Amino acid sequence: MPLKKLTSSINVLDAAKTRIKNLFSTGVKVYLSFSCGKDSLCLSSLTYDLIMAGEIDPKQLTIVFIDEEGLYTSMVDAAHRWRKKFASVGVPFLWFCLPFKQVSVLDHLTTSESWITWEPGKEDEWIRKPPPFAIMSHPVLHYPGEMNYQTFCRRAFSDGVQMIGLRTSESLTRLQVLARLDMTKVTPGGAFYPIYDWRDKDIWLYIRERNLEFPEIYMRLYEAGVKKNNLRLCAFFGDCGTQGLRWIAETDNELWQRIERREPNAYLVLLYWNSEMFRRSSDKRKELEEGQAKKDYKALCKDILFLNTDKYTIASDTKKNLRSWRGLFIKTYGVAQEKHYKRMYEGLLYGDPKMRILRILWTQIYNDYNPKKKVKRHGD
């Protein structure tokens, strides 16, 4: 879907403040989603400063922190700091340690693409202990693994609006989703994105100018070679979290042992990080694959989807969406390029439980075939 670029007469910081004030002026309950990441820290800082300036009512606000168990120590420290900070202005900080279904990209040797955080009965395997004040049960969640945390938040906080630090510059899918939203309407049960138009440079500039303390793991990942625009923190076993596991194995043996106890296949990251298993496209991967026979990804996708599907080990969460993958292959046949088939192949064999790769491929194939209709990002 082609998007029209719009310009504004105010900067993104002032725009975000205005959006937050407008949201609170409606009198609705606001649930701020806190994640310890850089975007969440900026949104929390903006909100806290507006409370201190007397421009929004803290009685409308509740902080929601979904503790995903597999978190870096510096992320947990950040959560403790901000819990105290919001408590100082009378804002409740709900710290949830619940058994949610989580995505895992490490179980390539099985047919599972998920694990359960804080799973009952596996307390000895938990990566860390929850804090004594953590909320360990909730009436919306009836049994372990019933839902992911996104579904939980929509149901548990449907009496208000979730305020989330999501930004369109981080993914094409996010840009398309937010472009369809009417940000002027506030509906209980919905979500609100005050910093949606911030870019990476805006985030880091805000952090620097306000001297915000951020999780040290960002610096460790940057030192390890992760590019600034790819510095994202998520649960250890997600597709973006695995990049930090290599650093843990090298520097924190005790934590690494707990991770391996929780996820026995974590060692795959150390062995195959620069390979197609983790969909890497680095120079190191090219070096490792040099001299190997060139793969015909189009033929491989055809074989997986139509000819010999049962021959391949496809995780159940991806396999249930094969009909959609087949539709993509058929409808883009003759249009898709080898690079698209390569990504299709990697998504099928190495997991796409949230169908992100599938959605992105539709747009990428369309844009590459129609270069004059490429999607424009805000601020480009």
Task: Please write the tens of the pLDDT for every residue from 131-151.
Answer: 999 999 999 999 999 999 999
**pLDDT, position 29:** 97
Establish if 326 belongs to a structural domain.
yes
* Same-domain check for residues 130 and 257: no
Are 64 and 31 a contacting pair, CB within 8 Å? yes
Residue 3 lies in a domain: no
* Number of domains, the chain: 3
98 shares its domain with 200: yes
Q: From CA 306, how far away is CA 257, in angstroms rounded?
A: 41
> Is the pLDDT reported for residue 284 higher than 60?
no
Q: Are residues 83 and 142 in the same domain?
A: yes
Residue 281 lies in a domain: yes
- The residue that leads in pLDDT, 216 or 163, is 163
Could you tell me which residue, 270 or 372, shows the higher pLDDT? Answer: 270
- In this prediction, residues 178-185 reach a mean pLDDT of 65
Q: Are residues 140 and 242 in the same domain?
A: no
Say whether both 143 and 235 belong to one domain. no
| Residue 277 domain-assigned (yes or no) | yes
Nearest to 104 by CA among 264, 254, 256: 264
- pLDDT-derived band at 59 (thresholds 50, 70, 90) equals very high
| Shared-domain flag, residues 202 and 55 | yes
User: Does any domain span residue 65?
Assistant: yes
Question: How many CB atoms are located within 10 Å of the residue 114 CB?
Answer: 18
- 24 and 117, same domain (yes or no): yes
- Domain end among 161, 185, 209: 209
Residues 115 and 154 in one domain: yes
The least confident of 73-82, 104-113, 323-332 is 104-113
Q: What is the mean pLDDT of residues 255-262?
A: 82
On the question of pLDDT at 376 being above 50, the answer is: no
Residues 248 and 302 in one domain: no
The set of residues, in sequence order, having a beta carbon less than 8 Å from that of 279 and lying 6+ positions away, is 239, 343, 346, 347, 350
CATH number for 49: 3.40.50.620
Question: What confidence score (pLDDT) does residue 318 get?
Answer: 81
Owning domain of residue 358: 297-373
Q: Is 161 helix (H, G, I), strand (E, B) or coil?
A: strand
Give yes or no for residue 259 having a pLDDT over 60: yes
The residue type at 117: T
